[in-house]
Structure 1
Amino acid sequence: MRRGAVRSVVVAGLLALGAGVPGPAQASVADGPVADGPEADVAYHGRVALAGSRLRIWLVPENDGPAALPNATLRVRLSAELADRQELSGGCARAGSREVVCETGPLPLHGRGRHVALQLELRERTPEVAVRVDTWWNGGATDRNHANNEHVVLALDTGDTYAF
């Protein structure tokens, strides 16, 4: 996917959320029922590893239903600053000095979206990084179970892999 196309997907998600700045309006979409939207149960499972200033994240979005979703956007937030230059996977874009967002692709009922692999370079080496993964945009779907799509993983600078 071309970088411009990725930006278009992310910008479309921002506009759909209203002005693109996460706040109370966006929280109501994810936290409460939406009259016209489907109901889905988005979940993320994956691994995180930190070695030096390189952070590797691999995850798979899943949907336990009861409805399929045409697309969603997951957000990865870090406790450490990213280096200025990043080579991001297709479908992903930088959303701030410590944030990356990625589209999931279609999430079929009781199925998986596309695998997301990120190799992020941190601005400087740090002994640990807290990695927060959550759903940033889900097309207006209601998701009553946030326990499986909101994760915080502490990765130590050991090269070890931490699963969530």
Structure 2
Amino acid sequence: MRMRSWVLGACGALVVAGSGAGPAGAVPEPEADLALHGSAVMTGDRVEVSLAPRNDGPAATPDASVLLRWSVPLAEVQRLPQGCARTDERSVVCGIGALAADAAGERLTVSVRLKGHPDEVTLEVDTAWLGGAVDRDRTNDRLKVLVLGTGDAYAF
């Protein structure tokens, strides 16, 4: 009987110890809320994306980047802005820099050429990196936009 009490007591201690927020002395991850707004225009085989990032806080982020992904392959040769790099046949990642809490970042404009001349393309915009911060509200930084080849701007 004495052994059973010890085992139950040890199991209870493990449950209590395992229910904490993390190891003692661990620094909690900062929380930032990145919001991405902008527009996309498709003319011929070109899509121009204009993006305005905003960090609604509560913490600043020392560095951030966004991922732009198209539903069709990109042309082989691209002239991307500084701070952007192609990651695969349909995606580009771009640094947007540090973002203070409750502040807007610098506008980013990316123009890409598509393979062929599609009538429409779906653009996915997503956060790629928040400099170690956590974003618990992904509804305003993970977006899908249908862009028609009309030359009209589609806002998101």
So what's the TM-score if we normalise by structure 2? 0.81
* Contact preservation (8 Å) 2:61, 2:132: no
Indicate which of 30, 37, 46 corresponds to 1:45. 37
1:120 match:
112
Give the deviation of 1:102 after TM superposition.
0.4
Matches within 5 A, 1:1-164: 36-164=28-156
| 1:141 CA drift (Å) | 1.2
What SS is found at the alignment partner of 1:75?
strand
Tell me the distance in 1 between the aligned counterparts of 2:130 and 2:100. Answer: 13
**Partner Cα separation in structure 2 for residue 106 and residue 55 of structure 1:** 26
Provide the aligned C-alpha RMSD in A.
1.3
Is the radius of gyration larger for structure 1 or structure 2? 2
CA distance in 2, matches of 1:36, 1:71: 18
Structure 2 distance, partners of 1:91, 1:143, is 22
Shift of 1:128: 0.4
For the residues of structure 2 that align with 1:120 and 1:106, how far apart are their CA atoms? 24
Residue 98 of structure 2 aligns to a residue in which SS? Answer: coil
- Which secondary structure state, in structure 2, belongs to the residue aligned with residue 147 of structure 1? helix
The separation in 2 between residues aligned to 1:38 and 1:113, in whole angstroms, is: 18
Instruction: Give the superposition deviation at 1:140.
Output: 2.1
Gap runs ≥5 in structure 1: 1-34
Q: Tell me the TM-score normalized by structure 1.
A: 0.77
**Distance (whole Å) between structure 2 residues aligned to residue 149 and residue 41 of structure 1:** 8
Q: Report how many aligned residue pairs link the two structures.
A: 131
How many angstroms apart in 2 are the aligned matches of 1:88 and 1:112? Answer: 22
Q: Percent of counterpart pairs with the same letter? A: 45
SS in 2 for 1:56: strand
Flag as ranges the 4+ runs of structure 1 deviating above 4 A. Answer: none
- 1:118 counterpart SS class: strand
Unaligned runs of 5+ in 2: 1-26
